[in-house]
Amino acid sequence: MLFKSKLEHTDPDVRRQYVEEMAADDSQLLQVAQSDPHPEVRASAVTRIIDLQVVLQLSQKDAEERIRNLATARLQSLMSGSENPAPSLDTRLGFLDGAADQRLIRFVARSAREPELRKVAVNRLLAHQDQPLV
């Protein structure tokens, strides 16, 4: 049987292996992370993508709790700058500026590699000091 792409293969192991070979900025990787029917394939994609918005969406909306948890950990790792490749500092600063998740902001305040990013996160927390940080 012929397949147009390894991403269309019926065997999830074939799709997962292909995902592990894809570049982190490949747009197909984003589609796989969001829509592959098999959780193991989505999990492999989540561990490779660097698009912060997509990772955030997956951390909130994936049907599988395991994938949501994996995406949350990936988002924290990307935001802290500990991944290679990682989004640029400017990208992470912009994302942090729009972030509503106080847990993520606290994580960045504690764990970001760049002092500038930690400072912005701390200032965001202090600005919302009268609100619960949960």
- Where are the domains positioned within the chain? 1-87, 88-134
Question: Cβ contacts of residue 23 below 8 Å, gap of 6+?
Answer: 29
pLDDT tens readout for residues 36-89: 999 999 999 999 999 999 999 999 999 999 999 999 999 999 999 999 888 999
pLDDT at residue 32 is higher than 80: yes
Identity at 34, one-letter amino acid code: Q
Q: How far lies 124's CA from each of 8, 39, 100, 102, 107, in Å? A: 44, 35, 10, 9, 12
H helices of the chain, where?
12-21, 27-35, 39-46, 52-61, 65-80, 89-98, 102-111, 115-127
Residue 52 burial class via C-beta count within 10 angstroms: exposed 0-12, middle 13-18, buried 19 and up:
buried
| pTM for this model (two decimals) | 0.87
Q: What is the DSSP letter of 8?
A: G
pLDDT at residue 3 is higher than 70: no
pLDDT tens readout for residues 100-126: 999 999 999 999 999 999 999 999 999
For residue 85, whether the previous peptide bond is cis, meaning omega lies within 30 degrees of 0, is: yes
Cα-Cα-Cα-Cα dihedral sign, residues 57, 69, 66, 28: positive
